């Protein structure tokens, strides 16, 4: 019998090669367009904002280009008439036509740029108008706040009570220990017993020297901690001595009370 000849297998390699080449070309073109578009966006973002001077300049340039375009049109028309008589003018005619086309293209670009600048200036004007309105609103609100503050201050002044000029202290009859009222200020320390006037054994003590605190503590340590205690009355100028006085008296074993009085208030003992 006769053997059949083997046929070569069908291959798609050439078709795949063509498809890959076309796809690569499309990707390359896409990348190039993306780079150009990105660069154009960056250039537009980095360009300074237009001003009225730029718009005026563009308007003048548009007018100049229109004038040049009219001149070129006249030149083209004149050269067209003479082109039939001399072939040497063919080059000039083509050059004039190219210049006319370039001028028309440039004119279209300048018109588009002028429209864009006019729109930006209109937006800026609207923003300034809105800013002025906001400033007026803030000024109106500030004026209303000032009126309300004045009303509040007037009400506070009408309802305020005169400051107390005296502070009264009284001793409970059920307390066995004798309290000492110790008035502490920056200039002096005055200790007064909260006891009946008949008790002449307890007399007020006043310490006004430069070391009034040390002198008071020396005197206080000689008192009877089982029968007496101290109530420290600090004026604003003497508050800085609070920690030292309180710690020293507590270490000596005395009971301590603390109160605050005004700088000009008078300390009175209720009888």
Task: Spell out the domain ranges in the chain.
Answer: 30-143, 166-269
The pLDDT of residue 140 is 84
Average pLDDT over residues 63-87: 70
- Structural tokens at position 135: 């400033």
pLDDT per position as a tens digit, 91-100? 566 777 788 8
Average pLDDT over residues 185-211: 79
Q: How far is CA 19 from CA 14, 27, 30, in A?
A: 9, 12, 17
Label the pairing between strands 205-207 and 189-193.
antiparallel
Q: Which DSSP helix (H) or strand (E) runs through 266?
A: strand 266-269
CA distance 208 to 213: 9
What residues does 189 pair with on adjacent strands? 184, 207
Average pLDDT over residues 164-181: 77
Whether the Cβ atoms of residue 194 and residue 269 lie closer than 8 Å to each other:
yes
The gap from C-alpha 125 to its chain's centroid, in whole angstroms, comes to: 26
CA distance 206 to 190: 4
Helices (H), ranges, 11-89 = 13-46, 52-83
* Percent residues over pLDDT 70 in the chain: 79
Whether the Cβ atoms of residue 128 and residue 228 lie closer than 8 Å to each other:
no
Q: What is the three-class DSSP state of 205?
A: strand
CA angle 190, 212, 221 (to 5 degrees): 80
If you search the block for the tokens 């308007």, which residue do you land on?
59
The pLDDT of residue 161 is 44
CA distance 152 to 209: 47
pLDDT per position as a tens digit, 59-74? 887 888 778 777 877 7
The pLDDT of residue 258 is 92
What residues does 231 pair with on adjacent strands? 181, 257
How many residues in the chain?
271
pLDDT of 102 above 50: yes
Whether the Cβ atoms of residue 235 and residue 183 lie closer than 8 Å to each other:
yes
Helices (H), ranges, the chain = 13-46, 52-83, 90-159, 212-220, 242-251
The pLDDT of residue 163 is 55
Closest to 193 (Cα-Cα) out of 206, 201, 183, 203: 203
Closest to 228 (Cα-Cα) out of 175, 194, 177: 177
Output the CATH code of domain 166-269.
3.30.420
pLDDT per position as a tens digit, 13-57? 677 777 888 888 888 888 888 888 888 888 766 666 667 777 777
The pLDDT of residue 84 is 55
Identify the residue with better confidence: 257 or 5: 257
Q: Could you give the strand order of the β-sheet that contains 256-260, starting from the edge strand earlier in sequence? A: 205-207, 189-193, 178-184, 228-234, 256-260
If you search the block for the tokens 């002096």, which residue do you land on?
188
Q: What is the three-class DSSP state of 225?
A: coil
pLDDT per position as a tens digit, 113-167? 888 888 888 887 878 887 888 888 888 888 888 888 787 777 766 655 455 688 8
CA distance 205 to 216: 9
């Amino acid at each position: 019998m006769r053997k059949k000849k083997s046929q070569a297998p069908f291959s798609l390699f050439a078709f795949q090669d063509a498809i890959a080449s076309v796809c690569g070309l499309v990707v390359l073109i896409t990348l190039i367009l993306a780079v150009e578009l990105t660069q154009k966006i960056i250039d537009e973002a980095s360009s300074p904002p237009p001003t009225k001077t730029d718009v005026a300049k563009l308007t003048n340039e548009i007018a100049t280009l229109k004038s040049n375009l009219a001149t070129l049109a006249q030149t083209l028309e004149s050269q067209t008439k003479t082109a039939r008589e001399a072939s040497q003018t063919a080059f000039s005619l083509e050059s004039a036509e190219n210049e006319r086309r370039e001028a028309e293209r440039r004119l279209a670009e300048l018109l588009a740029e002028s429209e864009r600048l006019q729109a930006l200036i209109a937006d800026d004007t609207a923003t300034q108008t809105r800013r002025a309105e906001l400033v007026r609103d803030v000024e109106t609100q500030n004026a209303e706040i000032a009126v309300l503050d004045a009303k509040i201050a007037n009400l506070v002044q009408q309802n305020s009570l005169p400051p107390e000029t005296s502070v009264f202290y009284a001793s409970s009859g059920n307390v066995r220990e004798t309290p000492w009222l110790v008035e502490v200020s920056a200039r002096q320390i005055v200790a007064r017993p909260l006891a009946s006037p008949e008790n002449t054994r307890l007399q007020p003590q006043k310490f006004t020297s430069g070391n009034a605190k040390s002198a008071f503590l020396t005197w206080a340590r000689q008192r009877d901690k089982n029968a007496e205690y101290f109530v420290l009355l600090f004026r604003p100028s003497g508050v800085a001595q609070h920690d030292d006085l309180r710690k020293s008296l507590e270490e000596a074993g005395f009971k301590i009370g603390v109160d605050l009085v005004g700088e000009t208030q008078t300390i009175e003992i209720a009888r």
